[in-house]
Structure 1
Amino acid sequence: MTEYEKELTKYFNEIALESEFDNSSENVIKWTKPMKLYILKDKEYEQQVSFIKSTVEKINEIAQDDFKIELTSGLMESNSVIFLCEREKAIELDSALFEGINEDFSGLSLAEFNNRFEIYSSRIFIDITEPIELQKSVILEEITQSLGLLNDSEKYTNSIFYEKQSIENNSNFDYSKEDIEIIKLLYHPYMKPGLNKVEVEKTIKRIFENKK
């Protein structure tokens, strides 16, 4: 592999096999069926909803293994919910949403997966009391993290996974080149749920070899 491909492999391992909340499985987790996303909101929030839709379109264009996010009009049809509300309202709607999480944050993404490491449900929270530009950055990050990319990193400042975005007031409204590459790698037909670090590195090498 080239030096860039080696660096990208390390970055994928950091984002996909670890978690910012220390509950990492150290295996690939991903959706193997469509993610049916319901927007739960108490007002119109037109800018936020528009940005959610554009994020969904971007992800659907990037994924390479027929994975899609579908926006649904009913909660009962969904397997993923994005809460657009204040934190107190979100707790009223889902008392377990912030369980075990004591820190302040502008957004949150939780993915539930089975013993085959397939994600079957996710919950996303966006704090609508934050400035709209920050909300947009958080929407992009949290929807993407709900795909199975659950960690942050200090590696690339222009990445949506950049750990110090809020501290440095460094909001990112689009994917970096590296972000796009790791979404492609996770949602590539060769990348199977449950792969460990050694298997991931072999799989990525195979993906890069097939591109040449």
Structure 2
Amino acid sequence: MRTSLNLGLYLSLCLSLYCSTFSVFAAQTTPVLSHAAKPAAWQSSIYISQAFNEVALKNEYDKARHRIRKWRIPVRVFIEHQVGDRALHTQLVQMQLTHLAEITGHDMQLVDTLADANLHLVFTRQSLWASEVMRLMGVKSAQNVHGSVCMGKFALNSKSEIERAWVIIPVDQAQMHGKLVACVVEEITQVLGLPNDSEKVFPSIFNDKTPQDLLTGLDFILLKLLYNPSIHAGMTAAEVKSPVQFLLKQWQSDGTIEHADKIVRQGQLYPLLGY
């Protein structure tokens, strides 16, 4: 059942989204969604495959090549509220979890206690930002606080399966940058196993130089790839190449890629934000 925000929550959300302006930086070679009948540049199988390698097999804060990382167990999310607007923040998280579950087919739900959770999400304030990152994510993550609006991290087992994750959003800082909704969307999505930000991936929430706050058609396809049963945690770039090519060929044929932008906008956040 589709959930709606009451007027007070809606106005609060609008203020957080539009109180600041955005500067958009895009290289001339950056693919742009086409208004013509021809496919957008990102819809080529080669482009999607390269984008998948960028966000799924790399990390934002290191230059190493990684294996595929994804959840095998159900995701259970506990929200720790250190600031007001509890109902608004909970509803934003629930909307995004519902959307991600629909895209990936993976079980994701909110829980009432931290003991039942494997994803701990904290809404805090800027004055507590560094100490909260230190408390939940450790010293290494705390070194990356400056220049970050919000942050997520996950922990793996020996099979490269994600077992635990943390997301921290300093609400006042996110609102100052007009990024409250973007933080909810991006950080929860990234801790599913797409942790890298890259200017090579466009249009996407995984590109910090573009204004996307909600999942794009490309992000939709990247999530579907990652959580397809043929792609397993622990796969290398070489091992994942064949199943990715097979799936992209199938989705080119059946229209999944062609209609991805339309399909992804069926998420609950899109009409709320005027899409």
| TM bracket (short chain) | 0.7 to 0.9
Report what 1:190 is aligned to. Answer: 230
1:37 aligns with 2:77: yes
More strand by share: 1
CA-to-aligned-CA distance 1:81-137 (integer Å, 9 cap, x gap):
011002553525862525222333111110100110000000001111121741111
| 1:124 alignment partner, one of 141, 154, 167 | 167
Measure, in 1, the Cα distance between the counterparts of 2:163 and 2:50.
26
Report what 2:118 is aligned to. Answer: 79
More helix by share: 2
Q: Check whether the contact 1:109–1:142 (CA below 8 A) recurs between aligned residues.
A: yes
- TM normalised by structure 1 equals 0.87
**Where in structure 1 do 4 or more consecutive aligned residues deviate above 6 Å?**
none
Task: Kindly report the root-mean-square deviation, in angstroms, between the aligned alpha carbons of the 2 structures.
Answer: 2.2
1:137 aligns with 2:178: no
Cα shift at 1:46 = 2.8
Report what 1:151 is aligned to. Answer: 196
- Give identity over the alignment, percent: 24
1:53 aligns with 2:94: yes
Please say which structure displays the higher CA radius of gyration.
2
Measure, in 2, the Cα distance between the counterparts of 1:54 and 1:163.
22
Question: Unaligned regions of 5+ residues in structure 1, if any?
Answer: none
1:106 aligns with 2:149: yes
Cα shift at 1:47 = 2.4
Which one is further off, 46-55 or 93-102?
A: 93-102
Measure, in 2, the Cα distance between the counterparts of 1:179 and 1:92.
29
Q: Check whether the contact 2:119–2:166 (CA below 8 A) recurs between aligned residues.
A: yes
User: Structure 2 vs 1, CA of residues 31 and 207 (structure 1 numbering), >3 Å: closer, same or farther?
Assistant: same
Count residues in correspondence.
204
Measure, in 1, the Cα distance between the counterparts of 2:152 and 2:222.
18
SS in 1 for 2:200: coil
Cα shift at 1:76 = 0.6
Question: Unaligned regions of 5+ residues in structure 2, if any?
Answer: 1-42, 254-275
SS in 2 for 1:89: helix
- TM normalised by structure 2 equals 0.68
Q: Check whether the contact 1:48–1:135 (CA below 8 A) recurs between aligned residues.
A: no
